[in-house]
Chain A
Amino acid sequence: MLRDESREAWADMSIKTFACMFLFITLAAANPCDAPAATIALLKNAGACMGCHNAKDMFIVFGNKEKMSVTVSERAFSNTVHAALNCTDCHRTISLEGHPGKVIGSKNAFLREASAACRSCHSDDKVKAKPHHAYMAERADTPPCTECHGSHGVLSVARWKATLRGHEYCLTCHSRTISKTVGTSERLSLRIDQADQTSSVHNKHDCSDCHTEYTADTHPVKTFADARTRSIVISGVCAKCHEDKHTAVRGSMHYNLSFRVGETLVSRGRPEAPVCTDCHGFHTVGAKETYETLSGIPCRKCHENIFAIYAKSVHGMAKARGEHRAPLCASCHFAHEINFTAMSDKIKAACLGCHEGIEAVHGRWLPNAELHLAAVACAACHAPSTEKGIYLQLIDEKTGRPVPVDQMLQVLGITGEELSGQLDAHGQGLDSYELAYLLRRLNLKGAGAKISFLGKMDVMKYSEAHQLSLKKYAVRKCEDCHSPASNFFKKVTLAVVKTDGGIDRYRTQTDVLKSIFLTESSKQFYALGGTRIAFLDWAGIFIVFCGLMFPVVHVTLRIFTAPVRRAKKADEAEKGKKS
């Protein structure tokens, strides 16, 4: 009985082995790369492999104990672009004799070995012709082909693409840990977290909506000096949909200070100035309400010193307490149209935007409240421990607008350097003669413009303007301003507005506001007690002295001439007696 069973088993094994060997020899004889579609029947010869590998619970254990399923769905495989191939066309080292053969060290080694077979049909030249392959073909750490294309489910490229929605095609590679080198050594991750992309407000967009030069068919190779330059250039694409915001940014100081978005190179200035992606992120662009911008984190990157001051302010402390309405950077400076605030009403408008009706509140105790609010910056009073000063600004009386430095240079016919040299040539601050002379030249040579000085009381360091304090600490005593001894009058600065909105400051001597030479030219700035003209004081002393001296001199003369009158009276009395 045992002998019969053994004989049957041996016969059965011999038949199977023979059949397998025959199939392997047949399959190996065929050239897979040249296999026409008509040879699909040959796949039936893979039945020997599929006889086992169609089972669901087949695994291979690698040398490093990694475990991998080796199940192959015959049905799925028959639908792939490789359906005409035999198993050994790719798994060339596998034979029935030694199957499963040597123990492979790891899954990765196995996949690399299997992927190497792809190159026998897909030559390097053909592979590199595809730009997205070109990046990786020469690299030592190039992922195996199966990493992206799969192993037994490889579809034709056309069919494969048809199954993928826009960004899914890109994410086939970019959801993986891939990176590139920019510049000389900077590594730039190209991995996109699909979860980020899905939760983004841009999740309905295809990658190529922003990365316009990249499609399923085109993948240009781009080089950048560094990752920052790349970010700046890529941010330019936001304008495609967000033109209004982009226009605002184009007018902002950040834009003017740093670069021109959309140019291929950072053309000037400071590339660390923020672009769209610095605040909004790249693929994580959230709903407006959730912007990290409001946390000020992007601003902090460059303006850390402001945050240190802000943290101690009434607003900063309120924010720290969790009061969401407390303002942060964008609340006052706005998000996109960020610009210089010196010599402008932008910040005041922001203050009044939240502190509604504050003009009326000031009006309850402050005479001429509207006028005070126009001439005095909020921070000048509400940041009490700051250094104060007065800014004199050149104003075109006809337009009410500041005269920018470019206009000054044009009218004066000099260069910026010459102007700087002329203003405060002696290094002791501009005196009243120099200011008056400057104004006279501007008005003589100006094309019909009537230029004069407008004064504004403000903090001297704009960073300190963030140090806003509680109301009870604000300047409230009139004497704090309306006195020549006031801190405001200790520093007077000529502020010339630059074309980009910034200001050039020129120190002036503190007594310029008391000069009679500037009476007419600074007629728009007047602060009781603080701008009194020194010459007028001396004239007043003289006039009042004369008034006082009239009775003094007259009385003195009367005293000295009293004997004359007494003598005359006596003489008249004598004459009266005689008569």
Chain B
Amino acid sequence: MKKNKKQALETAVHGLFLLLGLITVGCVLLITVYLIISGIPAIWKIGLINFLFGKTWESTANPPSFGILPFILTSVYGMAGAIVLGVPVGFLTAVFLSKVAPPKIKATVQAAVGLLAGIPSVVYGLVGMLVLVPGIRAVFHIPDGSGLLAAIVVLAIMILPSIVNVSITALEAVPKEYEDASLALGATPVETYFRVSVPAAKSGIAAAVVLGVGRAIGEAMAVMMVAGNAVNMPSLFQSVRFLTTAVASEMSYSGGLQRQALFSIALVLFLFIMLINAALNFFLKRRGEE
């Protein structure tokens, strides 16, 4: 009798933990299902081609038009710009920290990078609004400094920590023998780092870049504060709206088809992120195999 009771308890506890374990799966399903259910109707009404490739977004006009090509292109350009600026800096910092820097400097710089990762995005936005935007206005002599360029610079700085940290992990996993062999053959240390260690760690570094892409495309608040938020096709000095900021800026006062269209934008953003996640997994797995 007592044994049965004990067994029942064990089974119950096992079931409870299984349930807790499945909650993450539940969250992912919840998010996916909700985005699909709420995102599909507007796409259906507007038409997929009109929605994705329409060049005008006039959600409050009569008749309204819902084309999100400007948002998609802005997000892609903004992400690409952030990668072009952020990856070299992050990558070189990572090589320096993992291979060259003495332990004390390494610890200090890593602490700084940790801080950079912890700064809330609204603080990035605030500093961007008050330093970067006026700076761009003064340097390029344009009436308003807020726009794609400001957003790119802010994003580039925001993705630095992810790129540095993931690249360091990858570079430190390179077997010491590779480097020793290269040094013994007469290569200088710097040549060894860039021609032996970096190629050996390329999957990990690719993962770092993809992670940066994900961060850049998903950032909303900092971008909202510096990008100006007018609907324009992307150009460096013009006010632009990203996929994320399109959702955030109209959500509070939207209704009807406009609101549904905002959910559709979120669905598009979600699909981008899922693609990026798949790429990230691919690179991480390949690193595991190497």
Q: Do A and B truly interact? A: no
| A contacts, CB < 8 Å to B | none
